[in-house]
Structure 1
Amino acid sequence: MNLSFIDWPVQKQLTEEKNVLNIARIKVLSSSLHLRLVSNALLLALYVAENHTFQVKRVGFLTGVVVLYYFALRLGLNWRKAIHIAILIFVLIIWSNLFLYEDGFHVVTLQYVVIISIYGFYGLGSKWGTFYSLFAILPFFIYMYLGHELGTAIPWGPLGVSKMTIAVLLLHNFFFLFLINYYFFNSFYSTISALDARTMELTSSLAFQEESQKKLESEFKHQKLLLASISHDIKSPLRFLMATTGRLAKSNPDLPTIRAISQSSYRLYHFMKNLLEYTQFRYRNTRVTFNYLDVHELVDQKFAIFMAEAESSGNKFLNTVPQGVILKNNVQLLSIVLHNLIDNANKVTSKGLIEVTHKDFRDEVHLIIKDTGPGMDPAIISWVNSSEKVPGAELDPESFGMGLVIVKEVSALINARLLAEPNEKLGVAISVIFKK
């Protein structure tokens, strides 16, 4: 059976509402409204047949109110306000039963108290449920205060009406309570089912994550062993090669091939040392600690590494950082940044100048590495100045090497940002900027 017409007056409210509990409240409101219309039609017919003139007027007036209420909902009346109005209508029915009729105290009237209390709690929450429960029993206290005797034998319904009429009144209230329980327990079990399904999904995802975590941990251990192997099996022979070729170059200064091998092995050793330090730091996953360091001294140390290669390329190093400039940072990570920037500058420059200078501003300290090489591609400058750690697909990593990628990532670890811009005449100037 198609009962979609029941939701017709509250279609707008149902469309706007996403909460399962509130949807149940709106459906109870709509269903009880149709139930009221049906029961009023039956009562009106029975009262006319039984010639109860006052009851006919009363039910007719109530039916008119319900019809107006019906169309107010259709026009978008807020469902919470609608529940307040419905409860107040029930309260008025209690008052009219008790004070407009003789012997108005009967089971039907008492049922309205139960309906108001349940409707208040289910429809509006504990605060309004408590308020309306107390408000619903208030007329009974006034009724007794005015001297009416309640007695022990409580009649089923209004005096003078048929059993059929009383049955309609009682069944209306019964079905109303049934609707409240049906929709709310249905929404409750729907919510529980959804939560169970979600819990199973999350449990499955968690199991997958745990399995992935174990695989990552295994891979991590493998890579740490590989890193240790590289450090021992590659770095040590490189150190030996660097030392041996260095001695040969000093003993045979007139042999350019030996000197070139010495310079290459020296540079390769320090590149591997620098890369391994960076990789080991990442794998340790330790907290970055900051200590005070002498910037001028650190720059001199880095220049010393590339001095021989600079001489072979006809380059000159210039450290214009004043002596005594102290910076609080991580020595190891800042050393990696300087190493890569000086190395890049030295590689692209021929018979030029590589300078490291320093500028002290009010809120920032700039450590600037300048060269007089061919300059830097605008796309690379744009990437260096951006917050992106990894270059985009439009950039070829081979055009600038791994060094800049390392510098970008490490600069974030030491709370620094990079600014690349063309040098005054030739080359490029890259500033490592620290907040004070």
Structure 2
Amino acid sequence: MSRKLFGTDGVRGLANSHPMTAASALRLGAAAGQFFRGDGHNHHRVVIGKDTRLSGYMIENALTAGLTSTGMNVLLLGPVPTPAVGHLTHSMRADLGIMISASHNPYQDNGIKLFGPDGYKLSDKDEMAIEAILEGEIEPSKPEEIGRAKRIDEGRQRYVEFIKTTIPAGHRLDGLKVVIDCANGAAYRAAPEALWELGADVVPLGVSPNGRNINDGVGSTATARAQELVVKSGADLGICLDGDADRVMLIDETGRVADGDQIMALFARQWAKEGRLRHGTLVATVMSNLGLERYLEAEGLTLLRTGVGDRYVVEAMRAGGYNLGGEQSGHIVMTDYATTGDGLLAALHFLAEMINTGKRASELTRIFETVPQMLKNVRFTAGALPLENEKVRKVIADSEGLLSGKGRLLIRKSGTEPLIRVMAECEDKALMEDVVDRIVDEVTRVAG
């Protein structure tokens, strides 16, 4: 059985359209409740967090109705980062954690991410089991076993206190000026609070959500405003989170952006020196730059590549016993501390490195020379299968031949949006651009 509802990061879609309707969310909540309440007892609990999208209220209420109808007791956290849900699911001994968010997508989209009792995102096996329940009749609880729901105010504070404890004792941020861009999203309160409590001079950006402005010209996918503010305010570092704060981009004091590859390279080097990089291995996806791979090899370290999606990075880390991984897009996974990517956690550990080394951000975010890389996206209509088109396949095959021995090509369908992503790396920029444009033109022609 293949998954029909779940993608690479939970369920996602346009709000008020299947599968992100109130009716669908109610039924998904009921199915998840039935799955996790297998013993029939009424002491099971679920924590639900969300970002700041307008549709979050609708999805939250619908999920709550479905969950309580199958006997689950619901604790509503309100707006908190995705990694906070992973942490609190485990620390509060919940059977299930749910984050309502579409991450870096615009406000019109929304999504539902599920976490198991260990705080990790559900496996493919568990998601398939929930889909199987959805295809049949869902058994409601008896009237006396219907669950309860209540809002709790301390969830955000518990996460802030926890994340502060992950950096070495005695490390304060006094004297450091930090721009924090929260993308008008889930971390709009938690991130500035954590930084301020650790002593930083905080310059906030993207902390005024109105339900419609999440990721709108701010955050990890739109860093221009933060770059300008870092330079203008004389900040030591800029931190750009995405809508649910599981990704981060860093900005040095000159206004230059560092992506997840540079952050992972720094941490891998430092952890290896300290003898705490397990098996001398960093786990990253096929999207990470070839320059990162070359740098790690020169340091005597290994890069293990996975499919795209932080869940696949985490699965490989758990299977191999590795403790550092992530994505070029800014998911940084440190399983010594967290069960999923955590943008704020990564930023705090970067600040700790600045303190330890006495170096400026610009010296710590240029660890390796990148190989020229180009990525273009092509949107396609529902039902279109552009990568199965014979002419598209021929163009891709011809392009692979042109790049053979000179670079690499990666073509894939997004797991969260109706997009075909075309990425190439090559020292010869003109060849790289020509290859990408050829493929994009052909995919666009057949994409509908």
Same fold (TM over 0.5): no
Greater relative contact order structure (CA < 8 Å, 6+ sep): 2
Q: TM-score range by the shorter chain?
A: under 0.3
Using the size of structure 2 for normalisation, the TM-score is 0.17
Question: Greater strand share, 1 or 2?
Answer: 2
Question: Greater helix share, 1 or 2?
Answer: 1
